Amino acid sequence: MSQKPARKTGVAHFFAAAGYSVGGARRLMRESAFRQEVLALLGLMVVFAVVGASVAEFLGLAVLSLIVLAVEALNTAIEELVDNASPGWSEFAKNAKDMGSFAVMCMLVATGLYAAWVVFL
**Residues acting as catalytic residues:** 72
Can you spell out the DSSP letters for 10-22?
Answer: HHHHHHHHHHHHH
In angstroms, the Cα distances linking 85 to 28, 72, 73, 92, 96 are: 20, 20, 18, 10, 12
Alpha-carbon distance of 68 to 66, in angstroms, equals 5
CB proximity list for 50: less than 8 A, separation 6 or greater: none
